[in-house]
Amino acid sequence: MTAPIPRSQPLWFRRLGHCEYAPVFAAMQTFTASRNADAPDELWQVEHPPVFTQGLAGKAEHLLSPGEIPVIQVDRGGQVTYHGPGQVVLYCLLDVRRLGFSVRMLVTALEQAVIDLLASHSIAAHTRPTAPGVYVEDAKVASLGLRIRQGRCYHGLSLNVDMDLEPFSRINPCGYPGLRVTQLRDLGVHLSPATAAEELLPHLGQHLGYSCFGWVEGLP
């Protein structure tokens, strides 16, 4: 991967805590539509109540038995995935054009940040050329889904930390029947979602070209 252009501006890390999916989704769209050329990039960290999100290419047959868990249609790429308590969701509100990234470079940067985090805990992880995300052996531990509009992106990545994985059995995760999923706890890494997010931040910053960070609370 080509080294990113170093940036002197801070990357803002916005902690949202526990928040319903719909208002965060709406805020991402508003933030992206209203940002100007000087708006700083932000990463939003959140835990959602149980929800399935279905991407633009989503097919109904990948929703096997959602039951009482709501299904929300969204405007990212990809198929269906699950968000729930105990999972780190990091939304990437980035000016991709300003960063000088292609879509492939951005996906690679996000994936490699997760791989680096796992490596720091002696876990070997890898990617798959035809299925974005991060895997440990044959089980998926992190998922990616992005939307780029006029050179700016939103949505992002989710990392399974310490959660109930049962809802993944109600879908074909990311459109792959029988795909196994795993989480940090089952890999012997005992972190809270908040701590996992804090450890992931410098890895993300490195691969995006940032070395200076700021923190803020709540939705903009």
Q: Detail the residues annotated as belonging to a binding site for substrate.
A: 76-83, 143-145, 156-158
Separation between Cα atoms, residue 98 and residue 20, nearest integer Å: 30
Q: Which two tokens stand for residue 104?
A: 């492939």
Closest CA to 168 of 23, 32, 66: 66
> Active site includes 92?
no
Instruction: Determine the distance from the C-alpha atom of residue 187 to the mean position of all C-alpha atoms in its chain, rounded to a whole number.
Output: 19
Query: Helical H runs in the chain?
Result: 21-34, 96-99, 103-119, 193-208
In the set 19, 153, 174, 212, the catalytic residue is 174
Q: Which two tokens stand for residue 56?
A: 């633009």
Active site residues: 174
